[in-house]
Every structure is written in C-alpha cells, then in structure tokens.
C-alpha cells in the first residue's frame, strides 16, 4: 500500500495489500518448508535458514500488527502466554517487576510461581492507582511495569500515559496487555508504552479457531533483542496454518470489534439497575471504575467484554449460565460467538473475582437476541 494516509480499516481489510510475487495471489500461500536452501558459496541470501524463527508465514501478520500498533517490530508467538512470558523472560533474575492485582489469572499464576522461582522479584499492586504505582516503583531496580487495561475480569482501567511516565522516570519499561482493547480502541505505544502484547487467540483472530500471541515494540533495545532470543531459542512459535488464519481473521478486525463493543454497551446499559443483577462491570458505564480515563484513552468504544454480578450469589450466577441458550458456556473471549463464564470456577483460590460474577464476551449476534437470552436465563435461575 503506497498511500500513507490510508486509514487502518483499509490497511487491515487488505492485510497491507500484499500480493504473492510468484503467483499474483491476493491471499498469501501457506509455506510449510521447515528448512531453506543454502547458496553454493555458503551464504543464505534469502535471509532464511530454519523455520522455527524465520517462517515466511509470520511476515504478513507481523507487518499488519506493527502497522496497526504504530510500532517498530512485532513477533508472533504460539499463544498469548508464550508472548507475555517472553517479555518477562527478556528480563534478568533479580529484576523487580510491578504487575496488577487484577489481570489475566494464568499470567498472574505464572508470575507468582514460575517467574519468582526463576528469580524475578514480582510485586502485585493496584495498577489503577497511580499513587500506588509511584509508591511501589524502585528507581533503577524496577525494570518492567505490566499493565492490563481493561483488566480481566473486572474490566478496571489503567491510565497508560500516566503509568508510562512513572515507569520511565524510574528507568523501567512499560508493557501493556491490550488483548481486550485491541488496536481498534487503544494504541498503547502512542500513549507512551514501550511494548504492547495481545493474545491473538481473542479479537485479532476473532473466530475461536487458533491460539496465538503477539508482542510489538516501540523501538529496538537490549531487552527487545532478548525477547527475540527467547522466541528464536525457546521456540514457542506459531505454525504456518495458524499464521495464515490470523491474517484472514485480522481482515475483519474493525467490523468485529465495533460490533462486539456496541453490543456490550447495549447489554451493560440494559442490565444496569436490573432487579436480578447486583452490578454491571463495564468501562462504558459512566458509573464504572475508570470511565473518565477510558473515555480519553479508548477511541470509538469500550470493548466487547463486560461482567454481571447476579443477585443471589454464586449458586444464582452458575444457574444463570446454565440456563443460557444463545450465550455459550465456555472460557476465552473475543470470538464472533458470545460466551458466558462463571469466572471464579476457573480462577480458583487466591482470585480477586467475586463468586457471583459472570464474565460475558459479546459476539456479533443480534444484540436483542443476546439480551433476551440473558433475560430468560436470569428469570429461570431465580424461579429455582
């Protein structure tokens, strides 16, 4: 694509407009070769030696995501967890790290288990409160501040620009898990973050048919080179077919995220104050945590993720999920189909999640059908 002013919707719809030079195909071929021919004079002029870290199938997805995030470079990984953990493994044992109390539970467990065992000094704090970040950060010792916004599964908001300033003043990098916001709604690197990570399993692919992860950097530096080495040597890379599927999914990113976002807002507004719902958690509600920051930081919507707390406690919440028909009872998020999950059943001991909380991932079905299904499930759960 040659027009610098082209809008991101157009960039992704055509996946940067790349054409396969050999066949003139407008969709990329799927390369499966694990190895590449060496030149007769012992050089590798193709620039590729071995597929683990140099798979041509990565190129287009990485280029599209770098463009969307206004970054310097993107790396694809085999899952969001492989991407996130590579950022932490790019640090050195002894480094101090700040992470949020409310964050994707599996990464929190990895940080408090594996990462601390490996030698990182991990401290969990209320990342939504800049004074708590300021109080916990150790200039010269803290090497990374990890933010997730909106944060799973309470959908609390962290001010990326303000947290980046605090991190940078102390000499730390700021990384943002932007899985829920997507580049459609938030551009962390433009707000001052150094790294942005996605579980591409979610919105970037959007069809619940692969696991993938990405990390994009604002610039090259020693830490980024170590992240690159973690991927190249650790080998947590994506397969060719999954890389191809990701490019296909990305083409409809804007349509899907906008549809999910407007459905989530309508659902949140409908159930806010509902007699069978104790609380709706959604950054798009003016009464919600971080709404003013979200209005500034997110453009064009507040995302497709929300949570409702059922009146009647844990049993009522589980019963609501049991009675839904259109909403599917399943973990994960960001697909075209709407999902409902009793989150505490997944997160277990140590989770900050209330027992009566149902996590909702709004899909692209008709929003009136989604609301009607929740209405009948709430009513049935309370008849019991």
- The answer to whether 351 contacts ligand PLP (rule: CB under 6 A) is no
Q: How far is the CB of 203 from ligand PLP (least distance, A)?
A: 10
Question: Is 202 considered catalytic here?
Answer: yes
Which uninterrupted H or E stretch holds 274?
A: none
Cis omega (within 30 of 0) for bond into 122: no
Q: Of 104, 203, 254, 282, which is the active-site residue?
A: 104
Tokens of 125: 């704090």
Q: Which of 52, 138, 251, 295 is catalytic?
A: 52
Piece of the chain touching ligand PLP by CB under 6 A; list 43-51, 117-125, 174-182, 284-292 = 174-182
Which of these ranges, 28-36, 173-181, 187-195, 338-346, lies near ligand PLP under the rule CB under 6 A?
173-181
Catalytic: 44? no
Q: How many residues bind ligand PLP (CB under 6 A)?
A: 17
Please confirm, yes or no, whether 328 is among the known catalytic residues.
no
Q: Which of 179, 205, 214, 217 binds ligand PLP (CB under 6 A)?
A: 179
What three-state secondary structure class fits 197?
strand
108, 202, 231, 256: the catalytic one is 202
Measured between alpha carbons, how far is 66 from 75 in angstroms, rounded to an integer?
9
Unique residue bearing structure tokens 């970037």 = 204
Range 129-168, binding ligand PLP (CB under 6 A): 148, 152
- List 66, 67, 79, 261, residue binding ligand PLP (CB under 6 A): 79
Residue nearest to ligand PLP (CB): 80
81 binds ligand PLP (CB under 6 A): yes
Neighbours of 364 (CB within 10 A): 21
Kindly state whether residue 178 participates in binding ligand PLP, applying the rule CB under 6 A. Answer: no
CB of 195 to ligand PLP, least distance (A): 13
Burial class (CB in 10 A: 0-12, 13-18, 19+), 2: exposed
Exposure class string for 120-152: b at 16+ Cβ within 10 A, else e: bbbebbebbeeeebeebbeeeebbbbbbbbbbb
Three-state SS for 179?
coil
Backbone angles phi and psi of 317, in degrees to 5: -60, -45
- Give the pair of three-digit tokens for residue 104: 């994707």
The CA distance from 198 to 178, in Å, is 6
Q: Is 104 one of the binding residues for ligand PLP (CB under 6 A)? A: yes
186 lines the binding site for ligand PLP (CB under 6 A): no
Instruction: Answer yes or no: 272 catalytic.
Output: no
User: Site residues (CB under 6 A) for ligand PLP?
Assistant: 79-81, 84, 104, 107, 148, 152, 177, 179-180, 199, 201, 211, 213, 332-333
Please identify every residue annotated as catalytic: 52, 104, 177, 202
């Amino acid at each position: 694509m040659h027009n610098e002013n082209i809008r991101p919707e157009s960039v992704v719809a055509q996946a940067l407009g790349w054409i396969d030079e050999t066949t003139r195909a407008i969709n990329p071929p799927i390369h499966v070769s694990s190895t590449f021919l060496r030149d007769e004079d012992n050089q590798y002029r193709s620039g590729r030696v071995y597929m683990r870290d140099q798979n041509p199938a990565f190129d287009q997805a990485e280029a599209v995501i770098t463009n969307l995030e206004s970054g310097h470079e993107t790396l694809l990984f085999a899952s969001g967890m492989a991407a996130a953990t590579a950022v932490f493994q790019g640090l050195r044992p002894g480094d101090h790290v700040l992470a949020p109390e409310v964050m994707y539970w599996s990464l929190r467990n990895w940080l408090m288990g594996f990462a601390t065992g490996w030698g990182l000094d991990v401290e969990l704090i209320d990342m939504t409160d800049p004074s708590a970040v300021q109080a916990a950060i150790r200039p010269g010792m803290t090497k990374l501040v990890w933010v997730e916004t909106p944060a799973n599964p309470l959908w609390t908001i962290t001010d990326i620009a303000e947290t980046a300033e605090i991190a940078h003043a102390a000499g730390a990098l700021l990384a943002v898990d932007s899985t829920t916001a997507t580049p459609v709604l938030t551009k962390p690197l433009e707000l001052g973050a150094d790294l942005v990570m996605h579980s591409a399993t979610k919105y970037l692919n959007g069809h619940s048919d692969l696991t993938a992860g990405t990390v994009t950097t604002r610039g090259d530096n020693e830490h980024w080179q170590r992240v690159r080495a973690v991927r190249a040597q650790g080998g947590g890379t994506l397969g060719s077919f999954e890389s191809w599927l990701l490019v296909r999914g990305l083409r409809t990113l804007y349509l899907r995220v906008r549809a999910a976002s407007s459905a989530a807002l309508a659902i949140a507004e409908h159930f806010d104050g509902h007699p069978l719902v104790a609380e709706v958690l959604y950054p798009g509600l003016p009464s919600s945590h971080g709404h003013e920051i979200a209005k500034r930081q997110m453009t064009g919507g507040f995302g497709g993720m929300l949570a409702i707390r059922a009146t009647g406690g844990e049993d009522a919440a589980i019963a609501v999920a049991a009675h839904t028909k259109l909403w599917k009872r399943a973990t994960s998020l960001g697909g075209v189909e709407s999902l409902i999950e009793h989150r505490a059943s997944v997160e277990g001991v140590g989770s900050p999640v209330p027992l009566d909380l149902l996590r909702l991932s709004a899909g692209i079905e008709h929003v009136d059908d989604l609301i009607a299904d929740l209405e009948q499930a709430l009513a049935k759960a309370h008849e019991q």
